[in-house]
């Protein structure tokens, strides 16, 4: 190498004496380049795994757990499915960026995703199938070498390797340095003071340093990944280029982020739990930074974490960034995938598949219904596979919509069940380890006592949620069994209890509402209460399509008039609208919880400054709320408070409604299932079938 490293202050590509290229760069500075977000779906890890992710062109689809009639569709710059190779990703999305670094611009490439989704595989790869890091270095040197394969004297490359672990910068080339400061020079270049920089002239020189240094990375086994990366590992390549007696400084960051974690599933405790808090906080801030850049905001919160502070001169501005979002296709990772897609893409389309819901159970139609979208049997993973299969098996007679829908319901209930079981196990482990600590230390020294209390509290909430789901699962399974045994052409039967017959849901709903109306006739005051209790949150006006169209409009009329007015189709429609509205409101509320600043949060009903700050801090530490249930994990947020926050009513209202089992169940379902309107639908319908003193023969 003919050139010595230049001073850090010289690492400013936009200096006015950089010649023509620099002028162009200066002109470009006005434009802020967005972070390109691509998605990679890894192959299922076992052959018989059920998958829940479907990809097409630049779109990713998953089913909507809040409403099984719907599909969520996300759009990205590019989507790489399970068959994609490292070479595909490198040649289409990464290689074009290298030219920018050689021209003196900054480039960052980072892999984001939940633990076990394939980030390390994508960035590092294997010996046989190298990932982005080795490919970038190899290709960079190929570009910098002369056609004869000799190093070109116009360029110089320095290599550094660091990790950010628990918000501390550690030098992986010199592991003794464990907490290096991040600084900014007078030209706004960001650098790590004291970080080892090694001059490298070939890929071989790089691998000789990189291999051993990788062993210094902090990895540990979690329940979901035996070699889980517990830190953000960052390869830094500085590329200095001399041209026309001027020097251009480019920088490439190659980042394997630590996995975004749901500690309820990873079973993390103690040190792992602390690591996890730091991981989730920095990823949350990274998400905010990417959002701010992609939305063209002027204030970008780089300083809120070490990771984003370090990336300040390499993400946004004139820099070129690609975020590779890794997701797992297995159904067991559904909630991770759902959160990751929401993180990576702030916009999504909800597609109504127009399938009947479990509350729409009807006798089979005469002719098989055409599938709305004519797709192959592999369409949308096993959910649709199963539907297609079931449809085929009944195609000689009639399509029984309830069977297909119930199967989806059951699968979802199973998914939630597994999720909660994982959660419960995780909490138990955490509680056990904290208890151990408690016994081994004097009480006043045990800093984790508060955490233990919170965990025990949370554990109780999760257990009751689990019980709910188990009951639902049982009911749905009974329902499925009865449907599956329905022979083609026969009227549809639904078994609430073994071998029991139940009339079509229309009649049940009508009867149910008529009962309700006669109850309501006794007190119009209670009717008003019902409305407010049913509203999920005081944030939203008490809903009520159901009441506007059903209960309310008929409450003052005579019983006969009411029956005329409340037709089954009206009620079904109202129910559908109600569920839809409920779901929309829930999503809006979650959105507020996940995005609103403290000032906005404190405007929510019963949320003062202190609680708003607690919500905000929890979000910072643990990432976005995935459901309303998460609220009860915030220290000081009791179940009772969360319920009253969601319902917007004093908690003692509930007891009044226990007189009316269907209403009580509706509110109960909403609060306990974190606003999952699908569960609400199951509760309503199952309760209609089994509760209210309705025998199946009625
Ligand atoms: N595209 C792929 N093809 C084949 N196997 C893959 C692919 N992606 C990931 N895997 C495998 O999946 C497992 C988990 O991958 P990996 O360790 O890269 O996950 P990760 O997202 O880095 O997890 P963590 O955040 O916990 O470190 C590994 O066994 C890996 O070999």
Instruction: Indicate whether residue 676 lines ligand 1 (CB < 6 A).
Output: no
- pLDDT at residue 530, as a whole number: 33
Torsions phi, psi for 270 (to 5 deg): 55, -125
Contact partners, residue 162, CB within 8 Å, separation at least 6: 169, 170, 171, 172, 180, 192, 195, 233, 234, 236
| 139-162 mean pLDDT | 85
563 Cα–ligand 1 center, Å: 60
| Residue-range domain boundaries for the chain | 31-360, 573-649
- Residue 169's DSSP bridge partners are 164, 180
Cα 42 to ligand 1 centroid, rounded to whole Å: 8
Atom of ligand 1 nearest to the CA of 259: 25
Q: Kindly tell me if the per-residue pLDDT of 535 is higher than 80.
A: no
- Write the pLDDT tens digit of every residue in 462-476: 676 677 667 766 776
CB of 125 sitting under 6 A from ligand 1: no
In the block, tokens 């889980």 appear at: 228
pLDDT tens digits, 441-470: 444 444 445 555 656 666 676 676 677 667
pTM (two decimals):
0.54
**Cα 121 to ligand 1 centroid, rounded to whole Å:** 5
Measured from the CA of 123, which atom of ligand 1 is nearest?
Answer: 18
Is ligand 1 within 6 A of the CB of residue 121?
yes
Structure tokens at 148: 């004869």
- Compute the C-alpha angle 121/126/132, nearest 5°: 55
Burial of 521 (0-12, 13-18, 19+ CB in 10 A): middle
Q: Is the pLDDT score of 139 beyond 90?
A: yes
323-327, 333-337, 341-345, 375-379, range with the lowest pLDDT: 375-379
pLDDT of residue 425: 61
How many helices (H) and strands (E) in the chain? Answer: 25, 17
Residue 624 falls in which region: left (phi positive, over 0), alpha (psi -120 to 50) or beta: beta
d(CA 15, CA 5): 18
Report percent pLDDT > 90 for the chain. Answer: 24
Q: Which residue has the higher pLDDT, 135 or 632?
A: 135
pLDDT higher than 60, residue 655? no
| Residue of the CA atom closest to atom 11 of ligand 1 | 118
Lowest pLDDT segment from 133-142, 268-277, 388-397: 388-397
For position 287, what pLDDT does the model report?
Answer: 87
Please check the confidence at residue 385 and state whether its pLDDT lies above 80.
no
Query: Which residue's CA lies nearest to atom 9 of ligand 1?
Result: 118
Any ligand 1 atom below 6 A from CB of 117: yes
- Range with the largest mean pLDDT of 169-178, 423-432, 553-562: 169-178
Residue 531 and residue 539: Cα distance in Å, rounded? 14
CA-to-CA distance for 69 and 625, rounded, in angstroms? 23
- In the structure, what pLDDT confidence band is assigned to residue 237 with cuts at 50, 70 and 90? very high
Is 116 a pocket residue for ligand 1 (Cβ < 6 Å)? yes
Q: What is the DSSP-derived secondary structure letter of residue 368? A: P
Which residue's CA is the nearest one to ligand 1's atom 14?
116
Degrees, nearest 5: CA angle 209-213-218: 165
Structure tokens that stand for 192 in this block: 């790590």
Phi, psi of 371 (to 5 degrees): -70, 140
Under DSSP, is residue 618 helix (H, G, I), strand (E, B) or coil?
Answer: helix
User: How many other C-beta atoms can be found within 10 angstroms of the C-beta atom of residue 572?
Assistant: 18
Q: Counting atoms of ligand 1 from 1, which one is nearest the CA of 219?
A: 27
- Cβ of 228 closer than 6 Å to ligand 1, yes or no, is yes
Compute the average pLDDT of residues 10-15.
Answer: 38
What the block records as the tokens of 548 is 């506007």
Answer yes or no: is the C-beta of 326 below 6 A from any ligand 1 atom: yes
DSSP 154-222: TEEEEEEEEEEETTEEEESSSTT---BPEEE-TT--EEETT---EEE-SHHHHHHHHHHHHTTS-EE--
Task: Please tell me the CATH code under which domain 31-360 is placed.
Answer: 3.40.850.10
**What pLDDT does 277 receive?**
67
Q: 327 CA to middle of ligand 1, Å?
A: 10
Atom of ligand 1 nearest to the CA of 82: 1
- Write down the residue that tokens 């001027």 correspond to: 246
Q: Which residue has the higher pLDDT, 340 or 475?
A: 340
pLDDT of residue 48: 87
Q: Mind listing the pLDDT tens digit for each residue in 479-508?
A: 656 555 444 444 333 333 332 333 333 333
Q: What is the CA radius of gyration of the chain?
A: 29
- Residue 298 CB contacts under 8 Å (≥ 6 apart), including other chains: none
Which of 566, 578, 553 has its CA nearest to residue 513? 566
Indicate if the pLDDT at residue 40 is higher than 90: yes
Most confident of 47-61, 280-294, 357-371: 47-61
Cα 228 to ligand 1 centre (Å):
9
Residue 379 three-state SS = coil
Backbone angles phi, psi at 396, to 5 degrees: -80, -20
Test site for ligand 1: of 51, 81, 121, 232, most ligand atoms within 8 A of the Cβ: 121
Q: Which CATH class is domain 573-649?
A: mainly alpha
Structure confidence at residue 415 (pLDDT):
57
pLDDT band at 615 (very low <50, low <70, confident <90, very high): confident
More confident residue, 151 or 238: 238
How far, CA to CA in Å, does 188 sit from each of 21, 310, 574? 20, 12, 59
Q: Is 259 in the pocket of ligand 1 (CB under 6 A)?
A: yes
Measured by CA distance, the residue closest to atom 16 of ligand 1 is 118
DSSP code of residue 549: I
For the record, the structure tokens of 682 come out as 């199951």
Q: Is the pLDDT of residue 229 over 60?
A: yes
Q: In this predicted model, which residue has the larger pLDDT, 381 or 244? A: 244
Categorize the per-residue pLDDT at 579 as very low, low, confident or very high, splitting at 50, 70 and 90.
confident
Query: What is the DSSP secondary structure assignment for residue 297, as one 8-state letter?
Result: -
Most confident of 170-184, 475-489, 577-591: 170-184
> Ligand 1, from 39, 116, 227, 326: best to mutate by most atoms within 8 Å of Cβ?
116
- Tally of CA atoms within 13 A in the half-sphere of 269 that contains its CB: 20
Indicate if the pLDDT at residue 341 is higher than 60: yes
User: What number does the ligand 1 atom closest to the CA of 225 have?
Assistant: 26
Predicted local distance difference test score (pLDDT) of residue 273: 57
Classify residue 114 by its DSSP letter: B
Task: Quote the ligand 1 centre to 120 CA distance (angstroms).
Answer: 6
Binding residues for ATP: 113-120
Say yes or no: CB of residue 113 within 6 Å of ligand 1. Answer: yes
> 619 is written with which tokens?
């979000």
Q: Which long-range contacts (CB under 8 A, 24 or more apart) does 380-389 make?
A: 380/54, 380/61, 380/63, 380/71, 381/50, 381/51, 381/52, 381/53, 381/54, 381/329, 381/331, 382/50, 382/51, 382/52, 382/331, 382/411, 383/52, 383/63, 383/408, 383/411, 386/411, 387/355
96 vs 444, residue with greater confidence: 96
Asked whether this chain's domains 31-360 and 573-649 adopt the same fold, the reply is no
Cα(124) to centroid of ligand 1, in Å?
10
State yes or no: pLDDT of 657 exceeds 70: no
Task: Return the pLDDT at 354.
Answer: 60
Which whole number is the average pLDDT over 628-642? 82
Higher pLDDT, 660 or 229: 229
Asked whether the predicted pLDDT for residue 593 surpasses 80, the reply is: yes
Please report, in range form, the residues annotated as the binding site. 113-120
Confidence of residue 291 (pLDDT cuts 50, 70, 90): confident
Quickly tell me which residue has 């620099």 as its tokens.
22
Eight-class DSSP state of 541: -
Measure the CA angle with vertex 473, ends 472 and 478; round to 5°.
Answer: 100
Q: CA 563 to CA 581: how far, in whole Å?
A: 25
Residue 197: per-residue pLDDT: 96
> DSSP for 41-90?
EPPPSSTT--B--EEETTEEEEE-TT-TTEEEEEE-SEEE-TT--HHHHI
Which of 42, 51, 278 is the best mutation target for the ligand 1 pocket, counting ligand atoms within 8 Å of the beta carbon and taking the most? 42
ipTM: 0.98
Q: Tell me which residue has its CA closest to atom 15 in ligand 1.
A: 118
3-state secondary structure of 689: helix
- Can you give the three-state secondary structure of 82-93, one letter per residue? CCCCHHHHHHHH
Q: What residues contact 44, with CB distance under 8 A and at least 6 apart?
A: 51, 82, 329, 330
Token pair of 275, please? 């690591």
- Cα–Cα distance for residue pair 252/273, rounded to 1 Å: 31
Top-ranked range on mean pLDDT: pick from 184-198, 338-352, 390-404, 641-655? 184-198
How far away, in angstroms, is 422 Cα from ligand 1 center? 20
Q: How confident is the model at residue 244 (pLDDT cuts 50, 70, 90)?
A: confident
Protein residue whose Cα sits closest to atom 31 of ligand 1: 121
Give the three-class secondary structure for 612: helix
Q: What is the mean pLDDT of the chain?
A: 66
Q: Retrieve residue 417's tokens.
A: 């069940």
Q: Which helix (H) or strand (E) holds 465?
A: helix 449-484
Residue 194 pLDDT class (50, 70, 90 cuts) = very high
For ligand 1, pick from 88, 111, 118, 267 the residue to mutate: most ligand atoms within 8 Å of CB: 118
Which range of 205-209, 342-346, 353-357, 529-533 scores highest in mean pLDDT? It is 205-209
The answer to which of 61-75, 108-122, 557-571, 682-696 has the lowest mean pLDDT is: 682-696
Query: Is the Cβ–Cβ distance between 190 and 312 less than 8 Å?
Result: yes
Q: Does 42 contact ligand 1 (Cβ within 6 A)?
A: yes
Q: What is the pLDDT of residue 66?
A: 81
């Amino acid at each position: 190498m003919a050139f010595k490293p230049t001073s850090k202050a010289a690492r400013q590509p936009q200096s006015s004496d950089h010649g023509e290229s620099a002028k162009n760069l200066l002109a470009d500075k006005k434009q802020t380049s967005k972070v390109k977000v691509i998605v990679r779906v890894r192959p299922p890890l076992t052959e018989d795994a059920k998958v829940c992710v479907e990809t097409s062109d630049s779109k990713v689809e998953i089913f909507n757990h809040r409403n099984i009639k719907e599909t969520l569709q996300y759009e990205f710059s590019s989507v790489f499915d399970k068959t994609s190779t490292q070479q595909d990703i490198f040649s289409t999305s990464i290689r074009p960026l290298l030219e920018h670094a050689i021209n003196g611009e900054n480039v960052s490439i980072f892999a984001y995703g939940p633990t076990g989704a394939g980030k390390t595989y994508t960035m590092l790869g294997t010996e046989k199938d190298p990932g982005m890091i080795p490919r970038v270095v190899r290709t960079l040197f190929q570009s910098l070498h002369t056609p004869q394969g000799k190093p070109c004297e116009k360029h110089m490359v320095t290599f550094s390797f660091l990790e950010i672990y628990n918000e501390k910068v550690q030098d992986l080339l010199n592991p003794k340095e464990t907490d290096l400061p991040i600084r900014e020079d007078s030209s706004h270049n960001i650098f790590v003071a004291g970080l080892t920089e090694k001059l490298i002239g070939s890929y071989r020189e790089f691998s000789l340093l990189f291999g051993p240094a990788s062993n210094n990375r902090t990895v540990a086994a979690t329940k979901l990944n035996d070699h889980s990366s517990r830190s953000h590992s960052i390869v830094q390549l500085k590329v200095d280029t001399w041209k026309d007696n001027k020097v251009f400084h480019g920088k490439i960051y190659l980042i394997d982020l630590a996995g975004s974690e749901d500690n309820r599933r990873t079973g993390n405790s103690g040190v792992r739990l602390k690591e996890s808090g730091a991981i989730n906080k920095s990823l949350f801030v990274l998400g905010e930074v990417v959002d701010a850049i992609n939305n063209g905001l002027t204030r970008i919160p780089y300083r809120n974490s070490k990771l984003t502070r370090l990336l300040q001169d390499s993400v946004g501005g004139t820099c070129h960034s690609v975020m590779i979002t890794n997701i797992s296709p297995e159904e067991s990772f559904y909630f991770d995938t759902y959160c990751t897609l929401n993180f990576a893409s702030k916009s999504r389309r909800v597609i109504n598949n127009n399938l009947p819901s479990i509350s729409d159970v009807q006798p089979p139609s005469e002719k098989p219904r055409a599938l709305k979208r004519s797709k192959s049997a592999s369409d949308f993973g096993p959910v649709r596979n199963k539907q297609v299969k079931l449809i085929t098996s009944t195609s000689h007679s009639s399509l029984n919509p309830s069977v297909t829908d119930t199967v989806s319901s059951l699968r979802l209930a199973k998914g939630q069940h597994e999720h909660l079981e994982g959660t419960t196990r995780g909490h138990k482990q955490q509680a056990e380890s904290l208890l151990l600590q408690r016994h081994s230390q004097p009480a006043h020294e045990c800093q984790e006592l508060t955490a233990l209390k919170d965990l025990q509290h949370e554990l109780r909430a999760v257990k009751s949620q689990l019980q709910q789901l188990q009951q639902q699962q049982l009911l749905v399974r009974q329902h499925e069994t009865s449907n599956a045994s329905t022979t083609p052409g026969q009227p549809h039967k639904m078994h609430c209890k073994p071998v029991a017959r139940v009339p079509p849901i229309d009649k049940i709903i009508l009867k149910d509402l008529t009962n309700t109306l006669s109850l309501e006739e006794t007190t119009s005051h209670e009717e008003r209460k019902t409305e407010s209790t049913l509203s999920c949150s005081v944030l939203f006006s008490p809903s009520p399509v159901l009441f506007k169209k059903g209960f309310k409009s008929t409450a003052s009329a005579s019983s006969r008039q009411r029956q005329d007015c409340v037709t089954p189709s009206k009620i079904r429609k109202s129910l559908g609208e109600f569920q839809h509205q409920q779901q929309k409101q829930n999503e809006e509320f979650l959105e507020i919880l996940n995005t609103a600043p403290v000032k906005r949060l404190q405007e929510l009903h019963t949320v003062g400054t202190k609680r708003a700050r607690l919500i905000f801090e929890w979000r910072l530490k643990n990432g976005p709320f995935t459901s309303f249930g998460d609220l009860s994990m915030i220290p000081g947020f009791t179940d009772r408070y969360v319920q009253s926050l969601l319902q917007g009513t004093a908690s003692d209202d509930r007891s009044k409604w226990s007189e009316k089992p269907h209403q009580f169940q509706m509110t109960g379902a909403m609060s306990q299932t974190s606003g999952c309107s699908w569960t609400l639908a199951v509760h309503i319908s199952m309760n209609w079938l089994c509760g209210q003193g309705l025998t199946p023969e009625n």
